[in-house]
């Protein structure tokens, strides 16, 4: 699987979807060209996440879109997801690798160069770096105002795996994250809270593809 093609990454959160189901948001995002979907839904029970995950696995598989599960290795295994994304306070990457095997995709959140290099050394396939900008939907200690694109660039320079920027990213500021060297951007509210998630996904993707990587 080519992770270097992950330009747009949707993290699900039904609580900000204006009453629409996560399934509907994911289908709309896929219609708009989303590259990867992460099942997050931290405010739901394990059973609810499992049931939702089974449905999302069916939807994403039909379109050949990777499905990543946030934190929960057990749910990822149960629904045959493509991988797991862990944070700094979750199971260590090395342990997740032992449980999921060599073929699974493992992402890890990082806000510093040290966190990033440690995650890659432990076997992370990609990094979720942020919060790049200030955000209300993803709380990261010490990043209330965002780590900024300069930090993203430093992390990109320090690792040899794809870096996905996350946190406060919109179609208006995504280009700066890509210009800093990130492979792509992950969003929650930019797509989920949009009046038209399909159009929002297309707009986000367009803002990234316009970036000249040779600048």
Give ∠ CA 160-42-204 in degrees, rounded to 5: 55
The per-residue pLDDT for range 137-175, each reduced to its tens digit, is 555 544 468 999 999 999 999 999 999 999 999 999 999
| CA-based nearest residue to 147, from 162, 164, 166 | 166
The per-residue pLDDT for range 163-211, each reduced to its tens digit, is 999 999 999 999 999 999 999 999 999 999 999 999 999 999 999 998 8
Instruction: Write the burial class of residue 43 (CB in 10 Å: 0-12 exposed, 13-18 middle, 19+ buried).
Output: exposed
Give Cβ neighbours of residue 82 (< 8 Å, ≥ 6 apart): 1, 66, 67, 68, 104, 105
3-194 adopts what CATH topology?
A: TIM Barrel (3.20.20)
Nearest-angstrom CA–CA distance, 22 and 56: 9
Active site residues: 40, 109, 138
Q: Residue positions in the annotated binding site for Mg(2+)?
A: 71, 90
Distances from the Cα of 53 to the Cα of 19, 60, 161, 168, angstroms: 19, 10, 26, 25
Residue-range domain boundaries for the chain: 3-194
Instruction: Write the burial class of residue 118 (CB in 10 Å: 0-12 exposed, 13-18 middle, 19+ buried).
Output: middle
Strand, coil or helix: 98:
helix
Nearest-angstrom CA–CA distance, 158 and 113: 7
Q: Residue positions in the annotated binding site?
A: 38-42, 70-71, 90, 109, 135-138, 168, 188-189
The per-residue pLDDT for range 100-125, each reduced to its tens digit, is 999 999 999 999 999 999 999 999 99
The per-residue pLDDT for range 57-104, each reduced to its tens digit, is 999 999 999 999 999 999 999 999 999 999 999 999 999 999 999 999
Write phi, then psi, for 111 (nearest 5 degrees). -120, -10
Question: What's the average model confidence in pLDDT over 43-51?
Answer: 96
Give residue 143's pLDDT. 46
Give percent of the chain with pLDDT exceeding 90.
Answer: 90
């Amino acid at each position: 699987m080519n992770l270097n093609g992950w330009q747009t990454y949707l993290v699900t959160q039904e609580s900000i979807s204006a009453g629409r189901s996560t399934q509907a948001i994911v289908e709309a995002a896929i219609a708009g060209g989303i590259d990867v979907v992460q099942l997050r839904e931290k405010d739901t029970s394990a059973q609810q996440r499992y049931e939702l995950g089974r449905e999302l696995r069916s939807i994403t598989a039909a379109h050949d879109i990777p499905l990543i599960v946030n934190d929960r290795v057990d749910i990822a295994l149960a629904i045959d997801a493509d991988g797991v994304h862990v944070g700094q306070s979750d199971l260590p990457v090395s342990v997740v690798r032992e449980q999921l095997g060599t073929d699974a995709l493992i992402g890890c959140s990082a806000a510093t160069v040290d966190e990033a290099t440690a995650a890659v050394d432990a076997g992370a396939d990609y990094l979720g770096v942020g919060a790049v900008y200030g955000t209300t939907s993803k709380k990261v200690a010490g990043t209330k105002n965002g780590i900024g694109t300069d930090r993203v660039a430093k992390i990109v320079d320090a690792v040899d795996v794809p870096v996905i920027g996350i946190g406060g990213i919109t179609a208006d500021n995504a280009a700066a994250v890509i210009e800093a060297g990130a492979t792509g951007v992950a969003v929650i509210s930019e797509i989920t809270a949009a009046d038209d998630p399909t159009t929002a996904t297309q707009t986000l993707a367009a803002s990234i593809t316009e970036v000249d990587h040779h600048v």
